Structure 1
């Protein structure tokens, strides 16, 4: 998992490890620290980010090849990415600033989808914190529960979070509201195209 940490989070640069742990947010801190240190022992954050970016591009080139409307999808995603606020979104900013292929095709579009993923992730982390829910509790009260908590490195036993389900749902709604602001830059036609093309891209990947 060191490659994952130095790859996805390498866009933050050669910063203190605690900065990476904070940006990753939902990972158990000691687990993420070990992952980052292992990844940095193999390559620099800049190298890791470049490799992860290349993987995104290659995946897009393969999975979205010959998809009708892929360039239009990329165009719409890029419009959102260019206008979204960077506040509280360090991973989004790092990914936003990674070089993209010049060709407006599937590789570029998929990389922009990765940038959008980090944008919504950042909004979600802010919403969870604003709700006063800890990262472990947020995971446990989510759909994958204890399985997801284990994957993110949190040790058992886990607390009972039954009383947090409604707060978690409210945080999800707040995430959607914050992310909706990111989409305000789009026209009605662009919103409709984004919805339809995003569904088409998912189906096209198989």
Structure 2
């Protein structure tokens, strides 16, 4: 997965950062640099898909941040006086997560079972030493997407993985 272009053939329309990272050469003589470049490609693909899904789900960026992380974390990320998000927005956030998964599916659909296992192993290795909460969440999502044929929301239940 990280050594091969799983993203080859994936539509990059409206995903400019993904397209830019994907166009960068992968260092042939630097395995760590190559892995990091591939990770950036995957990260930017998910980020662009998620931003689109947030907007389609009827959330502003501020609302999505607050409903997901809370006011304190939104402030930490630079939102000035973000104010609380209404609990009624939670279904919209859950819809955005489902749409993000759907938009990302083509990226992982091209992987063989062997590539999926390798990717899961590499994600575990990358996040095993003192992972940050965001890295752990991203790794869990990526690993779940590539190790199961079911969409993530069907595996974690109707309330989603972060239901409170």
TM-score, structure 1 length as denominator? 0.57
Larger radius of gyration: 1
User: Is there any run of 5+ residues in structure 2 with no aligned partner, and where?
Assistant: 132-164
Residues 83 and 151 (structure 1), Cα distance of their counterparts in 2 relative to 1, 3 Å cut: farther
Confirm or deny that 1:137 pairs with 2:63. yes
Query: How far off its partner does 1:148 sit?
Result: 2.9
Q: 1:205 to 1:146 in 2, by over 3 A?
A: closer
Q: Is 1:98 paired with 2:44?
A: no
1:80-125 Cα offsets, whole Å, 9 max, x none, are: 2333210221111111122332225122112211121111101101
Which residue number in structure 2 is paired with residue 160 of structure 1? 85
1:161, distance to aligned residue in structure 2 (A): 2.1
Q: CA deviation at 1:196?
A: 2.2
1:178 aligns to 2:111 (yes or no):
no
Q: Quick one: higher RCO (CA 8 Å, sep 6+), 1 or 2?
A: 1
CA distance in 2, matches of 1:147, 1:82: 39
Q: 2-side partners of 1:159 and 1:74: how far apart?
A: 39
Q: Distance in 1 between matches of 2:122 and 2:56?
A: 32
Report how many residues are paired.
Answer: 131
Confirm or deny: 8 A CA contact 2:18 2:41 kept in the other structure.
yes
Check the 8 A contact 1:74/1:104 in 2, yes or no: no
Work out the CA distance in 1 between the residues paired with 2:97 and 2:81.
25
Is this contact kept in 1: 2:66–2:82, CA < 8 A? no
Matching of residue 151 in structure 1 with residue 76 in structure 2: yes
Contact 1:83/1:185, CA 8 A, preserved across alignment: no
Task: Note the 1:11-26 alignment, pairs <5 A.
Answer: none
Distance 1:112 1:105 in 2: 11
Cα deviation, residue 171, structure 1? 0.9
> How far apart in 2 are the matches of 1:137 and 1:112?
30
Determine if contact 1:86/1:93 at 8 Å carries over to the other structure.
yes
**Is residue 67–residue 93 contact of structure 2 (8 Å, CA) maintained in 1?**
yes
**Which runs of at least 4 in structure 1 moved beyond 6 Å after TM superposition?**
none
Q: Is the 8 A contact 2:75 2:82 kept in 1?
A: no
- Mapped partners of 1:80, 1:182: distance in 2: 6
Larger helix percent: 1
Aligned alpha-carbon RMSD (Å): 2.0
